[in-house]
Chains A and B, each alone.
Chain A
Amino acid sequence: ETAVFQTPNYHVTQVGNEVSFNCKQTLGHDTMYWYKQDSKKLLKIMFSYNNKQLIVNETVPRRFSPQSSDKAHLNLRIKSVEPEDSAVYLCASGSGNTLYFGEGSRLIVV
């Protein structure tokens, strides 16, 4: 049963455009994450928020910025997309150590 909701599921855009991905969780968790999964299926953590506070900020380009209005929402904005940003962006929420993932937002940059 899906409890981490991501929109949009799929987005095609041109180099230089701005993109936003939205994520909402209904599990009541305090912690939310953004992961990037590339074409080889490699998973890399980008950001983690605990109760609206940024707690993990991996080395990602500055054009990426997370935004959290409350502990149930964590959005990801990409200011000026580059071809290497093409990937699936996975939102997750966590309780204890277990992560619950959304279905992903696939970004294709042309």
Chain B
Amino acid sequence: GEKVEQHESTLSVREGDSAVINCTYTDTASSYFPWYKQEAGKSLHFVIDIRSNVDRKQSQRLTVLLDKKAKRFSLHITATQPEDSAIYFCAASHTGNYKYVFGAGTRLKVIA
């Protein structure tokens, strides 16, 4: 079955700097890659996603890159702010498949 690996368990950046979180997956049939954010003591919230028909998607300060050959995708956050501090989870699934496999999470700390 699919395995999603999140390479950084923790990441600290200074406010205003960029942060990059990397994930790899194993199933070549995976075609949908969302990112979720979990703030301390709260539940998960969707932040951005990318489908396999594109290799880049941007939404304000967030950009997701997808490299299907390497089976790798990454979340880039520019101009980080303290409120970006949270655990970020990547996930992979097949389009139309209800089963999402999550990575282990990356704890991002933005230091003021």
Asked if B104 is at the interface (CB within 8 A of a chain A CB), the reply is: yes
- Return chain A residues, CB-CB under 8 Å to B45: 101
Contact of A48 among B95, B98, B102 (CB under 8 A): B98
Asked if A98 is at the interface (CB within 8 A of a chain B CB), the reply is: yes
Contact (Cβ within 8 A) B43 A90: yes
Q: Which residue of B lies closest to A92 (CB)?
A: B44
Measured between C-beta atoms, what is the minimum distance from B32 to chain A in Å?
5
The tally of residues in A whose CB lies under 8 Å from a CB in B reads 22
Q: Which residue of A lies closest to B89 (CB)?
A: A43
Contact (Cβ within 8 A) B105 A45: no
- Return chain A residues, CB-CB under 8 Å to B105: 41-43
The tally of residues in B whose CB lies under 8 Å from a CB in A reads 22
Q: Which residue of B lies closest to A97 (CB)?
A: B32
Asked if A86 is at the interface (CB within 8 A of a chain B CB), the reply is: no
With known contacts A40-B104, A97-B34, A104–B43 Cβ distance under 8 A = yes
Contact (Cβ within 8 A) A103 B104: no
Q: Which residue of A lies closest to B31 (CB)?
A: A97
Contact of A99 among B42, B87, B96, B100 (CB under 8 A): B100
Measured between C-beta atoms, what is the minimum distance from A36 to chain B in Å?
11
Q: Provide the bound-state CA to CA distance between A33 and B44, in Å.
A: 13
With known contacts A41-B87, A43-B89, A100–B102 Cβ distance under 8 A = no
Q: Which residues of B contact A (CB under 8 A)?
A: 32, 34, 36, 38, 42-46, 49, 87, 89, 93, 95-96, 98-102, 104-105
